[in-house]
Structure 1
Amino acid sequence: MAKIRHIAIATQDPDKAVEFYKSAFGFRELRKLDNERARGYFLTDGSINIALLKFKTDQLGKGLDYVGLHHFGVYTEDADGCVEKVLAMGGEPYVDEMELTPVDDGKYRRPDKFRGHEGIIFDVADKPWPGTEEYDRA
């Protein structure tokens, strides 16, 4: 079974958002991000990698003022099998500007991104996100 291990939330104020989530829930900050695509933070609750990002380009077609769920990511040891199921169910490959995601060891992970039911965007990855149980075990 694939497990949700990443959630990206679009926010207008990542600095206030990170303080809210850290104070309200005790989430741990992993790192700060500021590049040509987005500015924000990565947090963890120990199981899920949470991105709080102010996007610099409209990646969803909802405008730069959009706040809320941007996409989620699932981790599975059988990414190929999961992708086959996604495609068979009518999911479509989705390419955006966030093709490469750096991880702590300096390497990059390229999740397969899809647009699924009702246009929701998600990643299917066979490499875990930092701050997740699977990443910590590796």
Structure 2
Amino acid sequence: MARIKHIALSTEDPAKTAEFYKDVFGLTELRREPKDTGADGVWLSDGYIYFAILKYGGEDTPNLGEGPSTVKGIHHIGFYVDDLEQMAGTLADAGCAECPGSSKVNRKFKGPDGLMLDVRHRGWDEQIKARMPLDQLTPASSPEP
């Protein structure tokens, strides 16, 4: 069974947007790029999934071609899957074209309405454990005793 791994929001000012979600919803910051400003992206979590707040549209940023990289809003939805190759085949059979920027562990496809679907087998569990207080981790992501 697949499960959502993250949601990515495209915005002009990731650091400012991240502050809103941290202040209002109490999300925990896991990472920012560059580390001093977060101008390119800030990654947050509620202990269940990641919320990537990113600035897309530059020369070195991933895109689906014309359109989605310049649109503000949800850029892509990421899923953890049990079998990456099987899911890649399922997506291809459903008419989803693979996008530039795919790798062996993280594959990207153009889904319905042009929304990018980002699928991978393994997650960032260790990064969550390293950055979030243990009492904020969910049972599914809690470290083993």
State the TM bucket, normalised to the shorter chain. Answer: 0.7 to 0.9
In 1, the alpha carbon distance for the partners of 2:77 and 2:16 equals: 21
Moved more, 1-10 or 48-57: 48-57
Cα distance, 1:8 vs structure 2: 1.1
Where in structure 2 are the equivalents of 1:4-83 lying within 5 Å?
Answer: 4-34=4-34, 39-55=40-56, 56-57=58-59, 59-60=63-64, 61-62=66-67, 66-83=71-88
**Counterpart amino acid of residue 70 in structure 1:** H
RMSD: 2.7
Instruction: Quickly say closer, same or farther: Cα 1:65–1:124, change in 2 above 3 A.
Output: closer
Query: Which residue in 2 is equivalent to 1:2?
Result: 2
Which has a greater percent of helix? 2
Which has a greater percent of strand? 1
Residue ranges of structure 2 left out of the alignment (5+ in a row): 129-136
Cα distance, 1:15 vs structure 2: 1.8
In 1, the alpha carbon distance for the partners of 2:53 and 2:4 equals: 16
Within the alignment, does 1:113 sit opposite 2:118 as a pair? Answer: no
Identity of aligned residues (%): 34
Contact 1:10/1:53, CA 8 A, preserved across alignment? yes
Residue ranges of structure 1 left out of the alignment (5+ in a row): 101-108
Residue-by-residue CA offset, 1:32-55 (whole Å, 9 max, x unaligned): 1139xx702011111111111112
Contact 2:11/2:55, CA 8 A, preserved across alignment? yes
> How many residues matched?
126
Cα distance, 1:81 vs structure 2: 1.8
Query: Which residue in 2 is equivalent to 1:104?
Result: none
TM-score normalised to structure 1 length: 0.77
**Higher Cα Rg: structure 1 or 2?**
2
TM-score normalised to structure 2 length: 0.73
Contact 2:41/2:55, CA 8 A, preserved across alignment? yes
Q: Which runs of 4+ in 1 moved over 4 A?
A: 132-138
Q: Secondary structure at the match of 1:23?
A: helix
